[in-house]
Amino acid sequence: MSSFTPAQSDNVSISTIRALAADVVTKANSGHPGAPMGMAPVAHVLYSRLMNVNPKNPKWFNRDRFVLSNGCALQYVLLHLLGYKLSMDDLKAFRQLDSLTPGHPEAGHTDGKLEHNSFIAFVTTGPLGQGFGNGVGLAVAQAHLAAVFNKPGFDLIDNFTYVFTGDGCLMEGVTSEAASLAGHLQLGNLIVVYDDNHISIDGDTAVAFTENVEQRFLSYGWQVLHVDNGDSDLPAIYNAIAKAKLEKSKPTLIRLRTTIGFGSKQQGTHGVHGSPLKADDIQALKTKFGLPADRSFYVPPATYEAYAEIGKRGASLEAQWEALLDKYSQKYPKEHAELTRRISGELPTNWEQSLPIYKSTDAAQASRKLSEIALTSLAPVLPELLGGSADLTSSNLTKVKGSVDFQPPSTGLGNYAGTYIRYGVREHGMGAIANGIHAYGGIIPYVATFLNFVSYAAGAVRLSALSGHQVIWVATHDSIGLGEDGPTHQPIETAIHFRSMPNLAFWRPADGNETSAAYLVALKSKRTPSILSLSRQNLPNLEASTIEKAAKGGYVVHEVDNEALTIVSAGSEVSIAVEAAAKLDAEGIKTRVVSLPCWFVFDKQPQEYRLSVLRSGAPILSLEALSTAGWSKYSHEQYGLPAWGASGPYQKVYEKFGITGSNIAVVGKQVVDFYKQKGGPVVSPLVKAFAL
């Protein structure tokens, strides 16, 4: 094991990080100075001695990954010192509108900042616990790609993932879930530094967090190390990280005792957690540190120089790696082509041709089953698919026959090249891990549970959407159609929750072609997560459905001229709408039917197309076996569930709530009569005074 060689500039660099963090937060008059000030030593030791990154190429594939789970200004300060494209002016714009330095590190979101910001954070942190889960995902991805692509003498994929975390993250359930799975998966490439500063917002952790964290992580199967003086014992910090790197079959937690807000008059109290330091406190601190007390945002030349050396080392490491990759291309041309394709994120040519296509005469099937058929067809052509379920594999139908489990080889249950992850009953952890897997690159993760329990993972789904992580949720048993399990398992509010989330494609396909369309669009959307809301019960294939039409998010399923009524529906209720329309047509009430499998995608179509689908002239009635909330955007009248579902065989539950062809025909007639009586022209709800 190597050892720590002190450099003259170490202390001044650490003091500089501390002072910069204080300056940044004070200038913004908002933020969290305490944690970056406390973690400056470990950040400095890690980056100056152990971390392999090249600031000139933030996307170098084999770089070490760094996640600041307790997301704060530390990330920005480090990026600036290291020479990433983040200027001192950017630091001064911390928490200001449209700056590169928002309140918490964002992997990128609106306003085209998506790519622009991607060097700042490849995962979004701030919401506690998410970064920890992302770190586990990054480590999973490394282990998987190493197993798939590395060859003897060609350790092309061998980076480490470092996560900094605090008390807050460790209290969160999502962290517990991810940590337990990381232990099971024996992820030796994952090193977590726990900032044990005894302080959270409510004060001393003694008020609520008195568990034995070391023992807890031992119970998960982690290696646990500790550094008693994280404020100044740099060799101990170095040795702990170096030791962690040597442990190949366990993730490591390093418990680092630090003093929050080190150097401040209020150090060690929650007074420095989430409020700026006062001016006199900062001055005194700088004097104590030997920095000019009157200069803000000051970086001594020795620090810039030391950090430039880190960059040089990283550039040289990348150059060596590129040379190795070049040799690999000669010895393993096929693998090389595949690896570089996957790194680029390009899908293989003609992969879409593997999508199943259905005729209306094909047998009715549950859309969860149609999803299984799609995955089975796609898996051979899309090896970047890395699937999994939260202990509902046989219900979600997400494991492709013959696929190998992603497991530590020592378990005898699979290996790291395996493409199916047993997540256990850990929905929230699964979501956060999947975000990390996608953030690594080269992999498209899909994950699964009942739609109702995607809500357990809402925090992670939100960050998929905000960060643009292409995670595909296979969310089965998506309505009262699940039947007997009853209201505790039947989604009501779930669809509108996720339909209202920006940059999330919530698909509720009605049949085979629509399911294929959902996969088509989800797989092509590199920066948008998707939820595929799928039925437990069988659904007939529609006459008019095609992948192409469904891929527009909405289309006409049953067309007539001069209609008296349009019924718009989604998922398992579309065929019920078709049945109702047939009954109405038979009674001389001409009825169109529209399927709207994905609002997000439909809303992106040209206004002209949308108005041709949901056209003016006749009232539009929406039908879905869920809350009607949100449907008034697309319809004049809404039929759905008034409250909770019910436990019972699903056909009986549908009957109970009047979601049958014959009752919807009755309701449809009511709507037609109502609008006849009302008189005047009926205008499409899509005709609006303005667009947001």
Question: Which stretch of DSSP H or E encloses residue 473?
Answer: strand 472-476
Amino acid present at 435:
N
Nearer to a copy of itself, 99 or 354 (CB): 99
> Does residue 427 carry a catalytic annotation?
yes
Other Cβ atoms closer than 10 A to 525: 17
552 binds a copy of itself (CB under 8 A): no
Query: Is there a contact between 408 and 185 (Cβ–Cβ < 8 Å)?
Result: yes
648 binds a copy of itself (CB under 8 A): yes
485 binds a copy of itself (CB under 8 A): yes
CA angle centred on 67, ends 62 and 73, rounded to 5°: 125
Task: Please write down the HEC assignment for all residues of 221-246.
Answer: CCEEEEECCCCCCHHHHHHHHHHHHH
Query: Is there a contact between 236 and 228 (Cβ–Cβ < 8 Å)?
Result: yes
The CB-of-395 to a copy of itself minimum distance in angstroms stands at 7
The CB-of-636 to a copy of itself minimum distance in angstroms stands at 8
112 binds a copy of itself (CB under 8 A): no
Amino acid present at 70:
N
Cα–Cα separations (whole angstroms), residue 524 to 382, 460, 472, 556, 633? 12, 21, 11, 23, 27
484 binds a copy of itself (CB under 8 A): yes
The CB-of-121 to a copy of itself minimum distance in angstroms stands at 11
Nearer to a copy of itself, 12 or 584 (CB): 584
Token look-up 């047993």 returns 422
Q: 395: annotated binding-site residue?
A: yes
The CB-of-110 to a copy of itself minimum distance in angstroms stands at 5
**Which stretches of 84-127 are DSSP H helices?**
88-92, 113-116
489 binds a copy of itself (CB under 8 A): yes
Nearer to a copy of itself, 496 or 510 (CB): 496
The CB-of-598 to a copy of itself minimum distance in angstroms stands at 15
Q: Which stretch binds a copy of itself (CB under 8 A): 54-62, 480-488, 556-564, 576-584?
A: 480-488
The CB-of-499 to a copy of itself minimum distance in angstroms stands at 7
Distance, CA of 133 to CA of 423 (rounded, Å): 12
Binders of a copy of itself in range 161-220 (CB under 8 A): 167-169, 171-177, 180-181, 183-184, 200-202, 206-216, 218-220
Answer for which of 102, 135, 188, 276 binds a copy of itself (CB under 8 A) is 102
Distance, CA of 510 to CA of 535 (rounded, Å): 9
Nearest to residue 671, comparing CAs of 554, 584, 610, 595?
A: 584
Nearer to a copy of itself, 242 or 686 (CB): 686
224 binds a copy of itself (CB under 8 A): no
Nearer to a copy of itself, 174 or 237 (CB): 174
Chain centre to alpha carbon of residue 114: 14
Residues near 320 by beta carbon (within 8 Å), at least 6 away in sequence: none
Nearer to a copy of itself, 540 or 619 (CB): 619
Nearer to a copy of itself, 448 or 542 (CB): 448
Q: Coil, strand, or helix at residue 462?
A: helix
Distance, CA of 2 to CA of 441 (rounded, Å): 31
Distance, CA of 673 to CA of 381 (rounded, Å): 53
Residues near 29 by beta carbon (within 8 Å), at least 6 away in sequence: 276
DSSP-assigned beta bridge partners for residue 556 = 594
106 binds a copy of itself (CB under 8 A): yes
598 binds a copy of itself (CB under 8 A): no
Binders of a copy of itself in range 291-320 (CB under 8 A): none
609 binds a copy of itself (CB under 8 A): no
How many residues belong to the site for a copy of itself (CB under 8 A)? Answer: 135
CA dihedral (409, 412, 418, 419) positive or negative: negative
Binders of a copy of itself in range 124-153 (CB under 8 A): 124-129
Binders of a copy of itself in range 434-453 (CB under 8 A): 452-453
Q: 295: annotated binding-site residue?
A: no
Distance, CA of 27 to CA of 96 (rounded, Å): 10
478 binds a copy of itself (CB under 8 A): no
Distance, CA of 88 to CA of 312 (rounded, Å): 21
Nearer to a copy of itself, 306 or 621 (CB): 621
Catalytic residue, candidates 372, 427, 573, 637: 427
Answer for which of 7, 56, 114, 221 binds a copy of itself (CB under 8 A) is 221
Q: 168: annotated binding-site residue?
A: yes
Distance, CA of 325 to CA of 399 (rounded, Å): 33
Answer for which of 136, 163, 366, 501 binds a copy of itself (CB under 8 A) is 501
Q: 301: annotated binding-site residue?
A: no
Q: 126: annotated binding-site residue?
A: yes
Binders of a copy of itself in range 671-690 (CB under 8 A): 671, 673-675, 678, 680-681, 683, 685, 688-690
Distance, CA of 417 to CA of 564 (rounded, Å): 57
Q: 80: annotated binding-site residue?
A: no
Binders of a copy of itself in range 654-673 (CB under 8 A): 656, 667, 670-671, 673
Other Cβ atoms closer than 10 A to 298: 16
Q: 453: annotated binding-site residue?
A: yes
Query: Is there a contact between 51 and 162 (Cβ–Cβ < 8 Å)?
Result: yes
Q: Which stretch binds a copy of itself (CB under 8 A): 238-246, 249-257, 389-397, 438-446?
A: 389-397
Residues near 388 by beta carbon (within 8 Å), at least 6 away in sequence: 398, 406, 420, 421, 422, 423, 430, 434, 445, 446, 447, 448
Nearer to a copy of itself, 7 or 147 (CB): 147
Q: In the structure encoding, which two tokens stand for residue 331, read together?
A: 């010895």
Token look-up 């955007």 returns 633
Residues in the chain: 692
Pseudo-torsion of CA 62, 68, 72, 73, nearest 10°?
A: -40
410 binds a copy of itself (CB under 8 A): no
Nearer to a copy of itself, 517 or 664 (CB): 664
CA dihedral (243, 245, 248, 250) positive or negative: positive
Nearer to a copy of itself, 348 or 424 (CB): 424
424 binds a copy of itself (CB under 8 A): yes
Residues near 680 by beta carbon (within 8 Å), at least 6 away in sequence: none
Half-sphere exposure of 594 (CA within 13 A, CB side): 26
Distance, CA of 651 to CA of 536 (rounded, Å): 12
Draw the binding track, 233-252, toward a copy of itself (x: CB under 8 A; -: no contact): --------------------
429 binds a copy of itself (CB under 8 A): yes
99 binds a copy of itself (CB under 8 A): yes
628 binds a copy of itself (CB under 8 A): yes
409 binds a copy of itself (CB under 8 A): no
Chain centre to alpha carbon of residue 448: 13
Which residues are documented as binding site for substrate?
Answer: 32, 273, 368, 395, 477, 485, 489, 536
Q: Which residues are catalytic?
A: 427
Which residues are documented as binding site for Mg(2+)?
Answer: 167, 197, 199
Which residues are documented as binding site?
Answer: 32, 126-128, 167-168, 197, 199, 273, 368, 395, 453, 477, 485, 489, 536
